[in-house]
Amino acid sequence: MAAEAPPPSTEQRKLPTPEEFTEVQESAEFGELRRSYRSFAFPLTVAFIIWYLLYVLLSNYAGDFMGAKLFGNINVAFVFGVLQFVTTFLIAWWYSRHAAAKLDPKAEAIKTRMEGGA
């Protein structure tokens, strides 16, 4: 079996020291990255969980409203359900766009400096 393969090449990457990590963590640049991430991801998480729970509660306790027909056999409940799909796709797209534009460049800069400068 593959367990008999030659010993793996242990990659020896230079890791920054604990002091360097603490220094970076306290830097303004990293603070900016953290804020940029948290202020986007945290409220958005709370928002989509509330939006989902609202949907669950409406389904449970607002039967008449959810059963109201909009056109043909399509009722409010069906539209709300499909809307959950749409918002999920949109939030995923929105977060990814934010991450690519605002987070990746900052993260990349810090990473390159820490790994290269060590």
Shortest Cβ 61–another protein spacing (Å): 7
Nearer to another protein, 28 or 73 (CB): 73
DSSP string covering 38-100, please? HHHHHHHHHHHHHHHHHHHHHHHH-HHHHH-EEETTEEHHHHHHHHHHHHHHHHHHHHHHHII
Residue pair 18/118 in contact by the 8 Å Cβ criterion: no
The token duo for 58 is: 């409406």
List binders of another protein among 92-111 (CB under 8 A).
Answer: 92-93, 95-96, 99, 103-104, 107-108, 110-111
Minimum CB separation of residue 80 from another protein in Å reads: 9
Q: Does 39 bind another protein (CB under 8 A)?
A: no
Task: In whole angstroms, give the CA distance from residue 94 to residue 77.
Answer: 25
Please tell me whether residue 32 binds another protein under the rule CB under 8 A. no
Q: 53, 54, 42, 47: which is closest to 90 by C-alpha?
A: 47
The residues pairing with 75 across neighbouring beta strands, listed in sequence order, are 69
Which positions lie near another protein, rule CB under 8 A?
1-3, 5-8, 13, 15-16, 18, 21-22, 24-26, 30, 33-34, 37-38, 41, 44-45, 48-49, 52-53, 55-57, 59-61, 63, 66-67, 69, 71-75, 77-78, 81-82, 84-85, 88-89, 91-93, 95-96, 99, 103-104, 107-108, 110-111, 114-115
